[in-house]
Chains A and B, each alone.
Chain A
Amino acid sequence: MLRNGERMIRDITLGQYYQADSVIHKLDPRVKLVATIGFIISLFVVDSWVGYVVAALFLACMIKLSKVPFSYMVKGMKAIVFILLITVVFNLFLTPGEPLVTFWKLTITKEGLRIAVMMAVRLSFLIVGSSLMTLTTTPNSLTDGMEKLMGPLKYVKVPVHEVSMMMSIALRFIPILLEETDKIMKAQIARGADFESGNLIKKAKAMVPLLVPLFISAFRRANDLAMAMEARCYRGGEHRTKMKPLRYRGEDRMAYCVLLLYFAGCVAIRVWR
């Protein structure tokens, strides 16, 4: 059971950076973060076929520019197939309106079809768009970008630096903890533990010999890491300099313009239609 989960986590293109030398890769992470959020918002702004075609074209262009193979984008979709299916089915069958097809007690309405397709499209584009961001930006740049963007929040006592540091440490340790999970599982299986068979309750109980050692190990690592950080003079975000400070370039400013145009276009389509 956990095996499949593990693979799923790896497939959810989280921290799955695809090395390539493209225009998109070289953009400042802040631009990509803002663009992704902007794109996701745009998906909910438009609600006509024209709008979705425009969004699709925009996305397709970005994918082409990124030089990342399309198959990688689609990988992320695997994880949400279930959610996608539920959304489609619910909307298809439970939306009131003009009936199209009926079998047994279930009716598919015209509105239902329309909404189901719309939701499917939105979800898919959302996943592909986010994947594009994580495929072209290293997790570290992402946290740097977020830290810089949320910078002003410092003045309202939001611990921006600390949150950013926590995120990058978590990302750094994900592969290590996954490996450790594997090791612990194997050690317990060698003692006759069974993670596969049984009902839900049995499976949950079977997780204890896996989770307890994992938690203890995670705490131990955290303790060690904290000591190592202090030994290297870490004392929070005050007076820290950056090895790779973020600075906007001409390409980034152009990217913002393109983004603005796209968004304006979406709003225009919504208003016009």
Chain B
Amino acid sequence: MQTDRGNAMGIIKTDKLTFEYIRRDEEGNVEGITRAVDEVDMDIRQGDFIAILGHNGSGKSTLAKHINAILYPTEGTVWVDGMNTQDENHLWDIRQEAGMVFQNPDNQIIGQVVEEDVGFGPENMGVPTEEIWERVEESLKAVGMYEFRKHSPNKLSGGQKQRVSIAGVIAMHPKCIILDEPTAMLDPNGRKEVVRAVRALNDVEGITVVLITHYMEEIIHADMVFVMDQGHVAMEGTPREIFSRVDELKELRLDVPQVTLLAHELRQKGVNLPEGILTIEEFTGALMAVSGNK
């Protein structure tokens, strides 16, 4: 079947993606139309680590749900690995290629035992029993949860539950994994666990990662960052480029790590520091250089 492939298309591509929904009041009368996603163009290459930032209500989650065909565009197109998401025949292939992990750790675990939950995806795909066990083992090892395979999910911490969900998605052998605010309900240690696991998947296994978040510290190692506001892409660039634009980020209801903000404030007061400082090492290095020149 002829698929609509662009030239050297990335693993995920969107073209003027728009999503609108009708707002109704209590009686069901139409109040208005909301454009949750507004003409978004994206081209993500296989193996990239992409971050999508935005305040609550910016449209980032709505955008994410188009990638694995949970939502369909009102206008525009989304392609996953060359397949148009609106093509019914490819629905399940798309969902297998683009796996998704959600925000609430409890509400995406189906199995009563960790290994059974990880096997859920492969079971749905009709993978033979022998192979399911292989996939479950390798996925759990990839996220560091193999010793917990016989445990009940109820006894796990938030970070551990999310790692199990990630394992459940990679057991489907997807080309990319989309994480919709996976750390929003976790404590700082849980957040670190999850981000570490996700980075390992990207670095080691070469899985494309799309991380949706509003925690700035998590995106430092991304290849590319998109900042959403009111449904469209307000800023686009590498983490360093994005972090340089502190005032813009604040207007978009976002924040920067303390070290970036401190550097920015000092620069405003005349200290000659470079833009887009991301880490403490960069900061101390730059500051020592400045003080050394006095």
Contacts and interface: CB of A to CB of B under 8 A. Distances in A.
A/B: CB atoms within 8 Å of each other: yes
Interface of A: 138-140, 168-169, 171-172, 175-176, 220-221, 224-225, 227-235, 239-245
Contacts of B121: 232-233
The 5 closest A-B pairs by CB, nearest first: A228-B108, A224-B107, A243-B119, A232-B121, A233-B124
Contacts of A228: 100, 102, 107-108, 110, 165
A233 B110 contact: no
A216 to B, nearest CB: 14
B110 A229 contact: yes
B180 to A, nearest CB: 10
Contact of A172 (B95, B110, B133, B136): B110
B168 interface: yes
B1 to A, nearest CB: 20
A231 B100 contact: yes
Given A221-B106, A230-B70, A239-B126, A168 B112 contact: yes
Contacts of B127: 241
A221 B133 CA distance: 28
A243 B139 CA distance: 15
Nearest to B113: A140
B172 interface: yes
Interface in B115-134: 115-116, 119-129, 132-133
Chain B binding surface, main DSSP class: helix
B68 interface: yes
A172 B111 contact: yes
Given A231-B68, A231-B95, A231-B99, A243 B108 contact: no
Contacts, number: 91
26 contacts: A172-B109, A175-B154, A221-B106, A225-B107, A227-B70, A228-B165, A229-B110, A229-B120, A231-B68, A231-B95, A231-B99, A231-B102, A232-B124, A232-B168, A233-B96, A233-B124, A235-B92, A241-B126, A241-B128, A241-B129, A241-B132, A242-B123, A242-B129, A243-B115, A243-B122, A243-B132
Nearest to B132: A243
Contacts of A224: 102, 104, 107-108
Interface of B: 68, 70, 92, 95-96, 99-100, 102, 104, 106-113, 115-116, 119-129, 132-133, 136, 154, 165, 168-169, 172
A234 B136 CA distance: 17
Given A231-B100, A241-B132, 7 more contacts: A140-B111, A221-B107, A224-B108, A233-B172, A235-B92, A235-B124, A243-B133
A225 B121 CA distance: 13
Contacts of A245: 129
A138 B115 CA distance: 14
A233 B92 contact: yes
B138 to A, nearest CB: 14
